[in-house]
Chain A
Amino acid sequence: MTALLNVEALCLEVDQKTLLSNISFSLLQGDYLCILGANGAGKSSLLKILMGINKATSGNILLNQQNLADLSQKKRAHQLSYVPQAQGHQLSFSVEEFIKMGRYAHHSALSDWQQADRVAVERAISITHTEDFLHRKMSTLSGGEVQRVLIAAAVCQQTPILLLDEPTSFLDPHHQIEVHKLIHTLNQQHGISIIEVSHDLNHATQHSQHILALKQGETLWYGDSSALLQSQQLHSLYEQEFVFTHHPQSGAIVALPSES
């Protein structure tokens, strides 16, 4: 199977500082990739290159076998959608207006709202269970609600790949689980390939299929998620020793920061 997204030897230098060096990975159809790393490891820089905010200094990104640099912003938005961190969205848009804006890439300047748009928006709303607050203003939503609305807007963009930037960082445990379930559903039932930047080591090892661990702009570890916990590299990822135990319910191995 050919990869949806293929990143080869990606480098980024800003002001003679190397932010990313020689990053390579690929994403298959239906894949779930988590990008881990300490603060400043280059996770956001990588995401920004994928979204076309920053340009890579060297290296190749192939999106559906097309060179990412050659795609217009609109063409790129047909392939990749993005869910930012849920903070600072003090907008006076209503939830419905905000979600509908996800359809931008499917319109030309003069085209009207069409049946396909209506269907896409309704579907996104029902998947994310955002029906109940469609008419509220974005600024009145709680953190968990904002995150679901942000995901709904990205889903109605109807892209094969969804990028999420720390989707649960600002949420309490209950809403973290709720959002993770939603991402899982999108991946498993709707076949959307996921790239998630995360700080949650246990979530990544248990729920994603692959992990790309970055350290100081370099690939520290890349492979099957379950294998990371056995890796010698784990302690070097966060400069932290871990101890391991089994989750009382699922039996999965969980890593806890060592206290010594």
Chain B
Amino acid sequence: MKPIHILILIIIISCLIVGISPHLGFTANNPEIQQHILTQLRIPRVLFAFVAGAGLALCGMVFQAMFHNPLATPFTLGVASGASLGAASYVYLGFGFSLLGIDGVTLSAFVGALLAISFVYSISRLHSGFSPETLLLTGVAISFFFSSLILFTQYLSDVSDSFQIIRWLMGSLNTVGYHDLLQLLPFVALCTFAILFLRRELNLLMLGDELALSRGVSVHHIRYTLFFVSSLCVGAIVALCGPIGFVGMMVPHICRLLIGSNHSWLIPATLLVGGSFLVLCDTLARLIIAPTEIPVGVITTLLGGPFFLWLLIKFKRIGT
């Protein structure tokens, strides 16, 4: 099958998933209440999940391309924990600022994400022959470090703040109305446009730095730009939904298997599959033990853990 056919198939399946999901799992019989639940809860939630999933998958795709490694994602490299720490500190310190209409919690998460990625990247550049394994282990170390700081803020917080942080750390797409969606959409859209704009550079980065440089890519500038926009996107998503893991690892990898590595096709495919995947996970989270909801982060991590192991076994040497 040609990439265009695969993409059309993906579009059709995504439309079906997004169209059907809001209508599943109704318990109330009153049509008016049903209508209200549909327009004020279900539809915004599905759209919110779609945008968040698309953003997470896209950032995962960018990281995998930049580090030439299917296991490198904002989550494995500690960027998401940086964002989480930023957001948790904001909640704990009880700030209430906002800038240009952006919530302070989003900004704090963004700063945390940027700190984490700067740290990981500077470490990876200490020695020229740094292996992908070392990069991932750096990410793991940073994740541990930030997680313990999060635990520390939680320990210091009062019971209700602490509960709020725990629920949020599990990752949830529970949203009412369109406010969260409108907060998130600009970040994911900005990130998408920037990445679409840099699709050729992403292709060349996959060939390795040497070849990319020789073809004329200003590798370091492009990398900093990509770090910046993906940190912005991960920061916004983490601030609003909590750290929903593994979407950014599974989706881009599967898309690459489906449609190839050319980012002109891979970017739209990753957006659509990422969005639909998170909608699907969230619908499952709503339905499995209804009326109780499971945090969606639990579902994606349950799927993602085995996937991670499968990747590890498949790529006996990471990075090949």
Chain A interface residues toward B at CB < 8 A = 48, 51-53, 72-74, 76-78, 80-82, 84, 88, 90-94, 97-98, 101-102, 104-105, 107, 109, 154, 157, 163
Contacts and interface: CB of A to CB of B under 8 A. Distances in A.
Nearest to B222: A73
Interface residues of B, number: 24
B292 interface: no
A96 to B, nearest CB: 10
A104 B216 contact: yes
Contacts of A107: 200
Contact of A77 (B197, B208, B209, B216): B216
A104 B217 contact: yes
9 contacts: A48-B210, A51-B210, A51-B213, A91-B206, A91-B207, A93-B206, A93-B260, A97-B261, A109-B198
A154 B210 CA distance: 13
Contacts of A84: 208, 210-211
B286 interface: no
Contact of B262 (A53, A93, A109): A93
A138 to B, nearest CB: 9
B218 A105 contact: no
A53 B204 contact: no
Nearest to A154: B214
Contacts of B207: 91, 98, 101
B260 A53 contact: no
A101 B204 contact: yes
Dominant SS among interface residues on chain B = helix
B215 interface: yes
B320 A80 contact: no
A90 B203 CA distance: 14
Given A76-B216, A82-B210, A104-B217, 13 more contacts: A48-B210, A51-B214, A73-B216, A73-B218, A73-B219, A74-B216, A81-B215, A82-B214, A84-B210, A84-B211, A94-B260, A101-B200, A109-B198
B214 A80 contact: yes
Nearest to A48: B210
A82 B262 CA distance: 21
Contacts of A76: 216
A104 B200 contact: yes
Contacts of B219: 73
A104 B198 CA distance: 12
A73 B213 contact: yes
Given A93-B261, A104-B204, A77 B215 contact: yes
Nearest to B320: A90
